[in-house]
Amino acid sequence: MDITINPHKWRHTFTSNFVKQNGNMEVLRQIMGHTSLKTTQNYLHINVDDLHKEYFRLYN
């Protein structure tokens, strides 16, 4: 398996993990150095399992 890891991919990983640990999006925006929250959201990747877990945590 050939996997390429670079600083840009680490930014995606950091963003997703930060939010997964219930980090504040505004704080994350500032950490990432973005002026727009929309830019920060472009780095965010949440898988379906995590989405379901959070939904059921909130509504059960």
* pLDDT tens per residue across span 9-53: 999 999 999 999 999 999 999 999 999 999 999 999 988 998 898
Please report which confidence band the pLDDT of residue 60 belongs to, taking 50, 70 and 90 as the band edges.
Answer: confident
> Tokens 């989405």 map to which residue?
51
Domain chopping of the chain, boundaries: 7-59
Selection from 53, 46, 7 nearest residue 25 by Cα:
46
Predicted pLDDT at 27:
98
Read out DSSP for 10-58? HHHHHHHHHHHTT--HHHHHHHHT-S-HHHHHTT----HHHHHHHHHHH
Contacts of 53 (CB under 8 A, 6+ apart): none
